Amino acid sequence: MPGWVAFDALKRTVSLEAVLRHYRVPGLRRHRDQLQGRCPIHRGTRQDSFRVSLTKNVFHCFGCQAGGDVLAFVAAMEKCAIRQAALHLQRWFTTEPWLANPVLRIKRKEELVRKEERCNPPLRFALTGVDHGHGYLAGRGVDRATAAAFGVGFYGRPGLMSGRIVIPIHNARGEIVAYAGRALEGGLPKYKLPVGFRKDYELFNLHRASATGSRAVIVVEGYFDCLRVYQAQMPWVVALMGSSLSAQQEQAMLAGFERVILLLDGDAVGRAASQAIAARLARRCSLDVVQVPDGAQPDQLSSPVLQQLLNHR
């Protein structure tokens, strides 16, 4: 199983203090359970902008707003993905014997999978300095008020999502569990998500839709479909972040709503997904399937058109 890494084990066993020594970061001062100094990521001038909690094994910079665990730190330093950061750590440090033994590694992976909680853990940081009025959003028909309500906008500071439109993803309790990063100007990948994040565990915007008290929920495929329907004064909308409905998404949706209105894309994939999801849900709830115009997506439709399609449902 070449290239496999155990992210949780690395976060538990590799300390940020050891990683800082590996990078030979100079001038850090110890104060109780913290290290303080200049940020080695953006190399700022402030002597106290960079803080490391030795007990929690996390860091934060008040200058560039980078923060997170040991994997996030290496990813920021190396300008790489979390998986590559984990591979670096695994190569630099001998953390547990099973990491170097293929037989033990496979056995340990199986144990971790069995123990894995079926949830995405909440993030211990939030991105700041997000521009909700960026021109890309206006070009997609998303106004500033909607972008601000969702926390969506351009992120220009250092980090894994730098230079992208960031989209906070919350769990059902309203905790941020990930950021999706939308590339600009044809950049690749089109959407960037953190390694290990499970889209099938979440419904985008579920916490806001549930708070409306509506018994009906509108289901769309993508983030921007959701933003545009919300903006059309129908905030009881969630996005699958794809074209399939997982068992966990289904359970979360039917726990809070009695009626489901499918508003998937008007292409072959969207039509097929609508049929498959409708067949699954038909006996479990009240159901409507809205036909989006051929070849169109909900985020390409104006608010009056969306209202016309949905208000009589």
Determine contact, residues 278/287, Cβ cutoff 8 Å.
yes
**Residue 197 reports pLDDT greater than 50:** yes
Query: 146: helix, coil or strand?
Result: helix
- pLDDT tens for residues 213-228? 999 999 999 999 999 9
Please state the rounded mean pLDDT for residues 245-261. 96
**Residue 10 reports pLDDT greater than 50:** yes
Query: b vs e for 65-84, b when ≥16 Cβ sit within 10 Å of the residue's Cβ?
Result: bbbbbbbbbbbbbeeeebbb
Parallel, antiparallel, or unpaired for β 191-192 and 50-53? unpaired
Domains of the chain plus CATH, in order, are: 7-115 (3.90.580.10), 135-197 (3.90.980.10), 206-310 (3.40.1360.10)
Q: Is the bond leading into 26 cis (omega within 30 degrees of zero)?
A: no
Structure tokens given for 115: 């123990």
What are the backbone dihedrals phi and psi of residue 223, each rounded to the nearest 5 degrees, phi first?
Answer: -60, -50
Query: b vs e for 284-313, b when ≥16 Cβ sit within 10 Å of the residue's Cβ?
Result: ebebeebebeeeebbbbbeeeebeebbeee
What are the backbone dihedrals phi and psi of residue 180, each rounded to the nearest 5 degrees, phi first?
Answer: -95, 140
**Residue 179 reports pLDDT greater than 90:** yes
- pLDDT tens for residues 31-54? 888 999 999 999 888 888 999 999
Give percent above pLDDT 70 in the chain: 89
Smallest Cα–Cα separation from 158: which of 54, 26, 37, 44? 44
Which pLDDT belongs to residue 189?
92
- pLDDT tens for residues 275-304? 999 999 999 999 999 999 999 999 999 999
Which pLDDT belongs to residue 3?
53
Please state the rounded mean pLDDT for residues 245-267. 96
Which pLDDT belongs to residue 55?
86
Which pLDDT belongs to residue 111?
46
**Residue 101 reports pLDDT greater than 80:** no
**Residue 104 reports pLDDT greater than 70:** no
Q: pLDDT: is 23 or 117 the higher one?
A: 23
DSSP string, 40-85: TTT--S-SSSEEEETTTTEEEETTT--EESHHHHHHHHHT--HHHH
- pLDDT tens for residues 118-148? 689 999 899 999 999 999 999 999 999 999 9
Q: How much is the mean pLDDT over the chain?
A: 89
DSSP string, 83-140: HHHHHHHHHH----HHHH-HHHHHHHHHHHHHH--SSPPPPS------BTT-HHHHHT
Q: What is the C-alpha to C-alpha distance for residues 86 and 91, in angstroms, rounded to an integer?
A: 9
